Structure 1
Amino acid sequence: MTPTAVLHSEWIKIRSVRSLYGSLAAVLATTLAVTVLALGTVGQEQAERAGAEPVFDAFYALNFGQIAAIAFGAAAVSSEFLGGALRVSLAAVPRRSLFYAAKMTAIGGSALVVGLLTSFTAFLVGQLFLGEYAIGLGHPGALRAAVGGGIYLALMALFAAGLTALLRSAVAVLSLLIPFLLIVPFVFADIATAVARYLPDRAGQLVLHQNPEGSLGPWSGLAVTAAWAAVALLAGWWAVRRRDA
């Protein structure tokens, strides 16, 4: 099969499997719901505080959207390990590297499109609740954060997808990543701030700040997250090539 045909088949899987389609849609739905809830209730109070960071506050809900992005990446890969589906896929596409590359491209491309839509929509909708404190995409750092936020969500989906290919279990990956993202950064922040800065979520979210502090800039922080995703993808590729279906 040609790369185009394999990529098309992987896109059909994402589009036709309800759980995958639902988890991808949840990225947008979750982020918008939290944006409306947070900025609609206390958004103006936070904006008028001294030292408020309007750009980062506008993308606060991506912390919740990333969980849905991780769930999508994990589910899209783990479905291959249920009921012998991987054997069928490899019978159709014996070239494992081609199969793996097409699957990750479909996952990353889908997550990127939805991530960008989510990031821009959340920003524009959130500003409707801020009245005189609302900012536009022309505000310093806002457009960069909107684009970077979409890329960040895609990278987190790929990070989860690579780990799932390695561990062959979405449950294991979610059990590992969700506490890692929600708990570990706060522990490291108190013990070793320099270490916490290089964790995938903390580094990637620097692109959401108007003026990030520390040695990493907004795009270099996103590059650190990309490096985490690349390592996970390489580990998953090794597992798919070396292990029995």
Structure 2
Amino acid sequence: MSTTAVLRSEWIKIRSVRASLGSLISVFVATLAITVLAFASVGTAEADNADYEPLFFAFYALNFGQVAAISFGTTAMSSEYLNGALRVSLSAVPRRGLFYGAKVAVVGVLALGVGLLTSFAGFLSGQAFMGDHAIGLGHDGALRACVGGGIYLALMALLAAGLTVVLRSGVAVLSILIPFTLIVPFVIGDVANGVAGFLPDRAGQQILHENPTGTLGPWAGLAVTAAWAAAALLAGWWALRRRDA
């Protein structure tokens, strides 16, 4: 099969599997819904707090959007391990590098497109409720944060995709990554230095701060998250090459 044909087949798989398509749509829907709910109810009250950071708070709902992004990356890969689907896929595309590369490319492109749309829409919709406290895309670091937020969501989806191939279980990956991204930030609090600052979620979210603190700057932090995703994808490629379907 040609590369174009394999890419098309992977897009058809994602479009036809409800779990994958639903989790991709949920990245946008969940983030936007939580943004509107949070900003409409406590947005202006939050602005009166002494430690209020307008830019970072604008992306509050991205914490929930990343859960959907992780779910998308996981379900897009885990569907291959149900009912022997991987054997069928590799029978159609015996070149495992082409198969894996096409799958990762489709997951990454879709996650990036939806991630950018989500990041910009979430930012702009939230500011509509902030009145005099509202900031725009011209605010220092705002455009960078919107673009970086979309990239961050895509990287988290790819991280989940790579780990799913390694573990061959969507349940296992979701059981690891979702508690990790939701609980660990609360456990370590505002620690941004040392090892904690190099965790994939903490590092990547530096891009959302107007004035990042700690060792990593905004783009350096996103690069660390990219390194985590790349390591997971390489491990997934190694696992796919070495194991039987």
Counterpart of 2:164 in structure 1 is: 164
Tell me the distance in 1 between the aligned counterparts of 2:139 and 2:192. 33
Tell me the distance in 1 between the aligned counterparts of 2:77 and 2:86. 10
Counterpart of 1:110 in structure 2 is: 110
Q: CA deviation at 1:51?
A: 3.6
Residues 11-38 of structure 1 show CA distances to partners (whole Å, capped at 9, x for unaligned) of 1111121211111000011101110111
Task: Please tell me whether the aligned partners of residues 188 and 195 of structure 1 are also in contact (alpha carbons under 8 angstroms).
Answer: no
Q: TM-score, normalised by structure 1?
A: 0.97
Counterpart of 2:181 in structure 1 is: 181
Aligned residues: 245
Give yes or no for the alignment of 1:214 onto 2:214.
yes
Give yes or no for the alignment of 1:83 onto 2:50.
no
Tell me the distance in 2 between the aligned counterparts of 1:194 and 1:235. 25
Task: Please tell me whether the aligned partners of residues 185 and 199 of structure 1 are also in contact (alpha carbons under 8 angstroms).
Answer: no
Tell me the C-alpha RMSD between the 2 structures.
1.4
Task: Please tell me whether the aligned partners of residues 159 and 230 of structure 1 are also in contact (alpha carbons under 8 angstroms).
Answer: yes
SS of 2:201's equivalent in the other structure is helix
Give yes or no for the alignment of 1:7 onto 2:7.
yes
Residues 98-139 of structure 1 show CA distances to partners (whole Å, capped at 9, x for unaligned) of 100000000010000000000000011101100111111011
Tell me the distance in 2 between the aligned counterparts of 1:82 and 1:51. 48
Residues 138-158 of structure 1 show CA distances to partners (whole Å, capped at 9, x for unaligned) of 110000000000000000000
Counterpart of 2:199 in structure 1 is: 199
Q: CA deviation at 1:184?
A: 2.6
Q: TM-score, normalised by structure 2?
A: 0.97
Give yes or no for the alignment of 1:47 onto 2:47.
yes
Q: Which runs of 5+ in 2 are unaligned?
A: none
Q: CA deviation at 1:234?
A: 0.5
Structure 1: which amino acid aligns with 2:244? Answer: D
Structure 1 stretch 7-16 or stretch 103-112: which is displaced more? 7-16
Residues 46-105 of structure 1 show CA distances to partners (whole Å, capped at 9, x for unaligned) of 123334211111101000000000001000000001011101100110000110000000
Task: Please tell me whether the aligned partners of residues 158 and 233 of structure 2 are also in contact (alpha carbons under 8 angstroms).
Answer: yes
Counterpart of 2:224 in structure 1 is: 224
Task: Please tell me whether the aligned partners of residues 108 and 154 of structure 2 are also in contact (alpha carbons under 8 angstroms).
Answer: yes
Structure 1: which amino acid aligns with 2:117? Answer: L
Residues 139-188 of structure 1 show CA distances to partners (whole Å, capped at 9, x for unaligned) of 10000000000000000000000000000100000001111112234434
Structure 2: which amino acid aligns with 1:226? Answer: A
Q: CA deviation at 1:193?
A: 4.2
SS of 2:74's equivalent in the other structure is helix
Tell me the distance in 1 between the aligned counterparts of 2:154 and 2:192. 27
Tell me the distance in 1 between the aligned counterparts of 2:192 and 2:51. 24
Task: Please tell me whether the aligned partners of residues 192 and 202 of structure 2 are also in contact (alpha carbons under 8 angstroms).
Answer: no
Structure 2: which amino acid aligns with 1:69? Answer: A
Q: CA deviation at 1:189?
A: 4.6
Q: How does 1:130-169 map to 2 (within 5 A)?
A: 130-169=130-169
Task: Please tell me whether the aligned partners of residues 74 and 160 of structure 1 are also in contact (alpha carbons under 8 angstroms).
Answer: yes
Structure 1: which amino acid aligns with 2:13? Answer: K
Q: Which runs of 5+ in 1 are unaligned?
A: none
CA 1:190–1:37 in 2, change beyond 3 Å: closer, same or farther? Answer: closer
CA 1:191–1:203 in 2, change beyond 3 Å: closer, same or farther? Answer: closer
Q: CA deviation at 1:195?
A: 1.2
Counterpart of 1:69 in structure 2 is: 69
Task: Please tell me whether the aligned partners of residues 63 and 182 of structure 2 are also in contact (alpha carbons under 8 angstroms).
Answer: no
Structure 1: which amino acid aligns with 2:129? Answer: F
CA 1:149–1:198 in 2, change beyond 3 Å: closer, same or farther? Answer: same
